[in-house]
Amino acid sequence: MIIEKVITNIEDMDEQEINKRHIEKVYLESAYLLKRIQRVKTDHGNELGIRLKEARELVAGDVLFMDDKNMIVVDVLSDDLIVISPNTIGEMGNIAHQLGNRHLPAQFEGNDMLVQYDYLVVDLLRELEIPFRREERKVKKAFRHIGHSHE
């Protein structure tokens, strides 16, 4: 089966509509959410080809296939993350500036900044005395590197 478009996201569906179907999942590393063309295998061992026609990234919960009895949904594997929890806006600004200079992609959830684990970032956070913890966590979207040069 070739998947050419995302039907919907499970978060946009009525619970009754979800519960009447058997759910099969495709587990992806967060980096693979960026790929529009890929071959994947469901948790039931079924192989699928994904070739999205529209220029969009996959997101956790995307429904790739759905009929009256079944649906195939994207799920994301946990990432090794650093969860940064600054005490002040000054600490947030400082670490955001430092990590921005290193072109590290970040995501935000509430007052926390999430970055993929890197021992150099841990050393920096310790040096700056900014609170953080290391955590295995699922993210809904991929960490996106933004190309930029300091010319």
How confident is the model at residue 150, as a pLDDT? 45
Instruction: Tell the CATH superfamily of the 79-137 domain.
Output: UreE, C-terminal domain (3.30.70.790)
How confident is the model at residue 147, as a pLDDT? 52
* pLDDT tens-digit profile, the chain (151 residues): 899 999 999 999 999 999 999 999 999 999 899 998 999 999 999 999 999 999 888 999 999 999 999 999 999 999 999 999 999 999 999 999 999 888 888 989 888 999 999 999 999 999 999 999 999 998 888 887 655 444 5
- In CATH, what number does 2-76 get? 2.60.260.20
How confident is the model at residue 100, as a pLDDT? 87
For residues 117 and 80, what is the distance between their CA atoms, to the nearest angstrom? 6
Tokens of 131: 């609170």
Nearest CA to 115 out of 132, 129, 101, 127 is that of 132
Q: Where in the chain is the domain with CATH 2.60.260.20?
A: 2-76
| Alpha-carbon separation of residue 49 from 26, 42, 93 (angstroms) | 11, 11, 42
Q: Are strands 107-109 and 132-137 parallel, antiparallel or unpaired?
A: unpaired
